[in-house]
Chain A
Amino acid sequence: MKSKRILVKGVEAIALGALAGGCNCYFGYPITPQNEIPELMSVELPKRGGVFLQAESETSAINMVLGASAVGARAMTSSSSPGISLMSEGFSYLIALELPCVIVNVMRGGPGLGGIEASQGDYFQAVKAPGHGDGKFLVLAPYSCNEAYELTAKAFELAEKYRNPVMILSDAILGQMKEPLTLKSPKIKTLEKDDWILSGAKDRPGRVIKSLFLDSAELAERNLKLKQKYQKMEVEIKFERLAEGSEELIIVAFGSMARICKEAVFNLRARGYPVGFFRPITLFPFPRKALCELAESHQKRKKFLVVELNCGQMVEDVASALCGKGDILSLAYPPSVLPFPEDIEREIIKCLNLSTSLNV
């Protein structure tokens, strides 16, 4: 089969990926820079017998997703930072109720109303605590239109496999830039759900989906069960590594920042600088082992320069993964002016000359 190439924005690639992944309902509330997702879904879903509904708030939208998921739908919502904060109680319930769904955050600058420029300021929120309680999302961070399409499609399968929400963490640059997208028909599995969804108690006793466990032993057991599930998700860990292990410095970056950093690394490598590149694609679970292996390869102590579009968040995960096995450096750009690859190159050269590491 010949695959088709089209020119789309990152957010459109996400919407098309969702449709390819079998998404059959979308509930959301408008917010820049992701409005193209609901706009596209409002056209495409009804054509395919699906449901599109604009809710009166993000709070309602995520709860509509919750209801749809409980009856077995492939449900999705998307928003940007402030809207994601508003959904967080719902996130916690979805995790607790073990309901699959896909949530897209096209991050913009914060805190507060912030701005509509790109930001990676919601990293912690996405990977550490999407809602109250101990719950986690499986978090995927694409860095191109093709990847946004493929990961979003796959997200629906992963959500059902783990009965857990999956978050696509994108940002205003990735979302709004246009690039060619190769439309494929990804093979997305549909899982049997009849044994847990609500469908009316026909020939069986009523089924209950709930998160209230007043018995403390029962609640502890629930939490441990969820924890085990997060550990199982480690088989899904994905990353991109452009490093042999003999380098002196490895750049670690995700999403849009990884795009800029990758170019800087290519440029410097062409000029003979000993630099490598590591890009986590799953942010939760985080590729801790892969980073450690890289740090330990060639028995050479390396510097790890973590570049982010925030005040320094992922650097904490890199430091905890490496556990002293490398020198950690943080290059954190608050959401304002984006660096050019040349800016990053200059910083890398500075770091290569640095004799001590920053303490994070």
Chain B
Amino acid sequence: MSKPFDFPKCLKRNTFHYCPGCHHGIVHRLICEVIDELNLKDKTIGLASIGCSCFLYFYIDVDILEAPHGRACSVATGIKRMRPDLFVFTYQGDGDFSAIGLGDSIHAASRGEKITAIMINNTVYGMTGGQVSPTTLLYQKTTTTPLGRDPQREGYPLKVAEILATFEAVAFCARSAVNNPKRVKETKNYLKKAFKAQLENKGFSYVEILSSCPVNWRMDAVSANYHVDKLTEVYPLGIFKELPPKK
């Protein structure tokens, strides 16, 4: 009997520190599978960012550099410009990529840096206790919007994938989720496309992944998993931009 899947080579056998029902771990595993399948371990540098996933290096066995909060795309730019032969990806939260780091993210994308950015959009600042983020849904309660996100006060949810898709230098841009097996497979497919866009030197590639944060959503793991479907009403899934293969 053949095994449907195996333990990825570059996934370390450490117990995840994430809360039960958190989606960070699933995405870590998918990244490892794609690195293995594309045989990238020898030439990969990952950028850990500041958020719940800052311990990326506990789980993924590649060279990893810790970037200051929001700066992963700039740090990745410095790396990739000096070592274009390496494969460089960032792993960032919605706060990191789209709040404090939006300038760095947007400019790296518009310059067409040959890097891959992965944004875990859980609509809150998980690590600091669940405060409002640019991607928080309207009327969603967070620790700093106790009565819910009011568009008159905190504005509207920021749709990063839709923005980046308008950039000429963006080669691949997609949004997915990992709250059911079909979407897990789809996410892996997007990650592979994004990684390949970089390997083929086509431009900036971006995958946004809608993720659960049961603890800060004040939900049990199962309800939080279902709640991700609610996020897709504001943040539709799919590929927003994909450059054709280079001639």
Contacts and interface: CB of A to CB of B under 8 A. Distances in A.
A159 to B, nearest CB: 15
B83 interface: yes
A56 B104 CA distance: 8
B118 interface: no
A87 to B, nearest CB: 11
Contacts of B79: 67-68, 70-71, 198
A201 B61 contact: yes
Question: Which of B57, B80, B81 has the most C-beta atoms of chain A within 10 angstroms of its own C-beta?
Answer: B81
A93 interface: yes
A59 B83 CA distance: 21
Interface in A89-110: 89-90, 93, 97
Given A57-B103, A202-B43, A206-B57, A64 B63 contact: no
A92 B72 CA distance: 16
A51 B63 contact: no
Contact of B57 (A27, A69, A208): A208
Interface string A38-57: 00000000000001010111
Contacts of A60: 71, 74, 77, 103-104, 107
Contacts, number: 132
Contacts of B68: 63, 66, 89-90, 93
B237 interface: no
B164 interface: no
Given A51-B82, A60-B107, A199 B63 contact: yes
A237 to B, nearest CB: 31
B91 to A, nearest CB: 14
A59 B63 contact: no
Contacts of A211: 66
A93 B75 CA distance: 12
Contact of A73 (B10, B71, B82): B82
Interface residues of A, number: 41
Contacts of B6: none
A75 B66 contact: no
A240 to B, nearest CB: 36
A71 B68 CA distance: 17
Contacts of A75: 78, 82
Contacts of A219: none
B86 A59 contact: no
Interface string B50-73: 000010010011111111100100
A199 to B, nearest CB: 7
B64 to A, nearest CB: 5
Contacts of B75: 63-64, 66-67, 70
Given A66-B75, A206-B62, A206-B64, A198 B81 contact: no
Given A63-B71, A212-B66, A200 B77 contact: no
A66 B62 CA distance: 19
A209 B61 CA distance: 13
Question: Which of B43, B78, B83 has the most C-beta atoms of chain A within 10 angstroms of its own C-beta?
Answer: B78
Nearest to B55: A212
Contacts of B60: 206
Given A59-B71, A200-B43, A210 B78 contact: no
A66 B86 CA distance: 16
A56 B63 contact: no
B42 A27 contact: no
B229 to A, nearest CB: 34
Given A51-B81, A201-B44, A206-B57, A63 B74 contact: yes
Contacts of A56: 103-104, 107
A90 B71 contact: yes
Nearest to A53: B81
A210 B104 contact: no
B76 interface: yes
A53 B78 CA distance: 9
A324 B64 CA distance: 50
B68 to A, nearest CB: 5
A71 B82 CA distance: 7
A68 B104 CA distance: 16
B82 A63 contact: no
A67 B74 contact: yes
Contacts of A198: 45, 63-65, 79
A25 interface: yes
A70 B66 CA distance: 10
B74 A206 contact: no
A184 B231 CA distance: 63
B131 to A, nearest CB: 20
Contacts of A97: 65-66
Given A200-B87, A208-B65, 20 more contacts: A24-B82, A25-B78, A25-B81, A59-B74, A60-B74, A64-B75, A67-B82, A68-B82, A70-B79, A71-B83, A199-B86, A200-B62, A200-B63, A201-B44, A201-B61, A202-B43, A206-B10, A206-B57, A206-B63, A208-B63
Q: List 7 A-B pairs, minimum CB-CB distance, nearest first.
A: A67-B78, A64-B78, A63-B74, A68-B78, A67-B75, A210-B66, A202-B42
Interface of B: 10, 41-45, 48, 54, 57, 60-68, 71, 74-83, 86-87, 103-104, 107
20 contacts: A24-B82, A25-B78, A25-B81, A56-B103, A56-B104, A59-B103, A60-B71, A60-B77, A64-B74, A66-B75, A68-B79, A68-B81, A70-B75, A70-B79, A73-B78, A89-B68, A90-B68, A205-B61, A206-B64, A209-B66
